[in-house]
Amino acid sequence: MGLNGMNKVMSNKFYIAFYIAPALLLLLILVFIPLVLSGYYGLMDWDGIGEKTFIGLENYINGIQDKLFWNSAFHSFLLAIFSTLSLVIYLTVSFILASKIKGADLLRKIYLIPMLLSSVAIAQLWVKIYNPSNGILNVFLMSIGVENPPLWLANPSIVLFAIFVPILWQYAGFYILIYYAALKNIPESLIEAARIDGASAFQIATRIKLPLIKEVVSVTIVLAIVGSLKYFDLIYVMTAGGPNGASEVMASYMYKLAFANYNFGYGSAIGFLLLVITLIVTFVIRKLTATKDKLEY
């Protein structure tokens, strides 16, 4: 059999269907159809069990005017900003780690451990850490003489910051891993050349290394922002959006509407808005961070 026969075999429709169908059908039925349905259910007045009543765009209009929804969206965006800013810390640590440090491999693996744990376990652990009287944080604060340490998760003005710390803890290893790998990819000859030209360590880091890993940095910005917009597990377990909505985010608000209030129609509309916002933000951030001049080295 020659190459012609080969092409015939490799373009046989039965084989193509056999190999692509399981994955494609699962993707269409369980990922894409639900997204379309979410938009459609958003047009209904529906408690999840009874009859659906078509009410047009009412849910979407209510959603756009819903102060609680925008409040939760604001919190999601705040977390996105915190996450993006924390990339600077991760980047700094990675620069140090990649500067010929002994034991760098072991250290980055230690940093990664929290990333492997479930958000539920992390949330439960940090609820204990923040426990007002017996948590390790307040025990420490009281031992150094702070008389009334904060009620971290019960104080509406600090709860979001308190929630961000475990997020920082969870993802540190992930971003450091990515930056470290990118920095290790930079050819040693480039750095050596700069050093011979008299560049300082700081100049080498900011003027040579940073521009060379620009694309990786823009990928992580997208990951940090889009990831933040989808946060749910950790917050749901730690505070369930409380106290009084002070830590509510978009996904937890949608979840509450549907699975606590049985407002499936409105919940679907909010879920659909979450999808639209995520896609728009992803698109905009990708455009903004796209590196025009692709660096070759």
Partner 1 sequence: MGRIGYFLLYLALIVVALFQILPLVWLFLFSLKDNNEIFAGSPFALPSEFRWENYEKVWNGGIGTYFFNSIWITVLAIILTVLFASMAAFALTRLKWKMSGLVLGLFMVGLMIPIHSALIPLYSMFLSVNLIDNPISIVITYTAYNLPITLMILLGFYYTLPHEIEEAAVIDGCSIHRMFFRIILPMTTPILATTVVINMIYNWNEFVFVNTFISSEKYKTLTVGIQNFIGQYMTDWGAIGATLVISVLPIIIAFIFFSNKVVEGISSSAVKG
Q: For residues 109-128, which are near partner 1 according to CB under 8 A?
A: 109-121, 124-126, 128
Q: Would you give the DSSP letter of residue 123?
A: H
* d(C-alpha 206, C-alpha 258), whole Å: 48
Site for partner 1 in 79-98 (CB under 8 A): 93, 96-97
141, 181, 194, 210: residue in contact with partner 1 (rule CB under 8 A): 181
Min dist. Cβ of residue 239 to partner 1 (A): 14
Site for partner 1 in 52-81 (CB under 8 A): none
Min dist. Cβ of residue 120 to partner 1 (A): 4
Q: Which is nearer to partner 1, 23 or 157 (CB)?
A: 23
Q: Which is nearer to partner 1, 71 or 233 (CB)?
A: 233
- Asked if 144 interacts with partner 1 (CB under 8 A), we say no
| CA–CA distances in Å: residue 35 to residues 31, 248, 265 | 7, 23, 14
- Asked if 190 interacts with partner 1 (CB under 8 A), we say no
59, 72, 220, 239: residue in contact with partner 1 (rule CB under 8 A): 220
Q: Which is nearer to partner 1, 82 or 272 (CB)?
A: 272
Q: Would you give the DSSP letter of residue 48?
A: S
- Asked if 20 interacts with partner 1 (CB under 8 A), we say yes
The two structure tokens encoding residue 282: 């992803």
Min dist. Cβ of residue 224 to partner 1 (A): 9
Min dist. Cβ of residue 111 to partner 1 (A): 5
Min dist. Cβ of residue 192 to partner 1 (A): 15
The structure tokens 């369980």 sit at 30
- Buried b / exposed e over 148-185, threshold 16 CB at 10 Å, is ebbbbbeeeeebbebbbebbebbbbbbbbbbbbebbee
CB 111, CB 199: distance < 8 Å: no
62, 71, 99, 289: residue in contact with partner 1 (rule CB under 8 A): 99
Site for partner 1 in 223-282 (CB under 8 A): 223, 226-227, 229-230, 232-233, 236-237, 250-251, 254-255, 258-259, 264, 267-268, 271-272, 274-275, 278-279, 282
Q: Is 54 helix (H, G, I), strand (E, B) or coil?
A: strand
- Piece of 63-71, 104-112, 148-156, 188-196 that binds partner 1 (CB under 8 A): 104-112
129, 153, 160, 204: residue in contact with partner 1 (rule CB under 8 A): 129
* d(C-alpha 266, C-alpha 252), whole Å: 14
DSSP 98-149: TTT-TTHHHHHHHHHHHHHS-HHHHHHHHHHHT-TTTSHHHHHHHHTT-SS-
* DSSP H/E element including 11: none
CB within 8 Å of 228: residues ≥ 6 apart: 76, 77, 79, 80, 82, 83
